Amino acid sequence: MKPIFLLTLRQLSSRRRLLLLILLAALPVVLAYFLTEESDFGEGFINVVIDGMIFAAILPIIMMVLATVAFGHEVEDRTLSTLMLKPIPRSRIVLPKLLASIAIGGPLVIASGVIATLLGPEGNGQAALAVGMALFAGVVTYAALFTWLGLVTSRAVGLAVIYVFLWEGILSTFVESIRYLSIRGYSLSLLYRIDENSYSVLSDRVLSFPPALVGAVAVTVVFFLLTVRHLRKMDVP
């Protein structure tokens, strides 16, 4: 597993890609800095920076950029067969791919959210901790989904963009029942349940703790297993 993990880290951490991801992660921090003197830690800041930017855009975009290409280099270069010929369980190929995306995207996303929260008006350690924990859950869940998508189709990025902005961005905002099938919905619900005082503005659009936690775990496990299953059955030249 370790060689696959290290190889994937090198593949995903190209200078251009990392620069793009760092710039994306910096946007909420910059916005939070300029909003500090103009608003309070209430509806405006949470809706615009925390929910609208970090959870609805920065988190899924960063994980999409990374996870959809976790298998991309091997598929494009036709070197996936080298991995497939190794006498190891397919789960031990998928897991390091998944972990590599999390290892690169997780710190960027979590640092962005935590720093933005601390810079925000009346930001505090408990609110920042809640953001960090909720974002970690989102990072893992999106990584599992987008790793599977990147393996099953060559149009993974386009489909991921449609999913993020249509399903997660629009439909989950206006259709309450979709939140039960939304990674953004799970993450925001965990955020609120961890620190209900700081994020009380979210109270009317979040799930209870058990469905949010079970949903995040279930999506992660299901798409991990689907990726393993597809890898076992796919024909590799």
pLDDT one-digit tens code per residue, 51-63: 989 999 999 999 9
What is residue 44's predicted lDDT score, i.e. its pLDDT?
A: 80
Work out the average pLDDT over 14-24. Answer: 93
Q: How far is Cα 212 from Cα 205, in angstroms, rounded to an integer?
A: 12
In this prediction, residue 231 has a pLDDT band, given cuts at 50, 70 and 90, of confident
Residues 24/62, Cβ–Cβ less than 8 Å: yes
Q: How far is Cα 155 from Cα 227, in angstroms, rounded to an integer?
A: 16
Q: What is the pLDDT of residues 190-211, one digit of tens each?
A: 999 999 988 988 888 899 999 9
Domain count, the chain: 1
Q: How far is Cα 30 from Cα 10, in angstroms, rounded to an integer?
A: 29
What is the domain range of residue 24? 2-233
Q: How far is Cα 29 from Cα 94, in angstroms, rounded to an integer?
A: 33
Work out the average pLDDT over 144-150. Answer: 95
**112, 13, 107: which is closest to 65 by C-alpha?**
13
Q: What is the mean pLDDT of the chain?
A: 88
Global pTM value: 0.92
- DSSP assignments along the chain, one per residue: -HHHHHHHHHHH--HHHHHHHHHHHHHHHHHHHHHTTT--TTHHHIIIIIIIIIIIIIHHHHHHHHHTTTTHHHHHHT-HHHHHTSSS-THHHHHHHHHHHHHHHHHHHHHHHHHHHHHSTT--HHHHHHHHHHHHHHHHHHHHHHHHHHHH-TTHHHHHHHIIIIIIIIIHHH-GGGGGG-HHHHHHHHHHHH-TTTTGGGGGG---HHHHHHHHHHHHHHHHHHHHHHHHH----
b vs e for 93-119, b when ≥16 Cβ sit within 10 Å of the residue's Cβ?
A: bbbbbbbbbbbbbbebbbbbbbbbbeb
How many other CB atoms are there within 10 angstroms of residue 191's CB atom? Answer: 30
pLDDT above 70: percentage of residues in the chain: 89
Q: How far is Cα 212 from Cα 221, in angstroms, rounded to an integer?
A: 14
For residue 104, pLDDT beyond 60: yes
**140, 120, 225: which is closest to 186 by C-alpha?**
140
What is residue 72's predicted lDDT score, i.e. its pLDDT?
A: 73
**77, 139, 109, 99: which is closest to 1 by C-alpha?**
99
For residue 42, pLDDT beyond 70: no
Work out the average pLDDT over 8-36. Answer: 89
> What angle (nearest 5°) sits at the alpha carbon of residue 95, between those of residues 90 and 96?
110
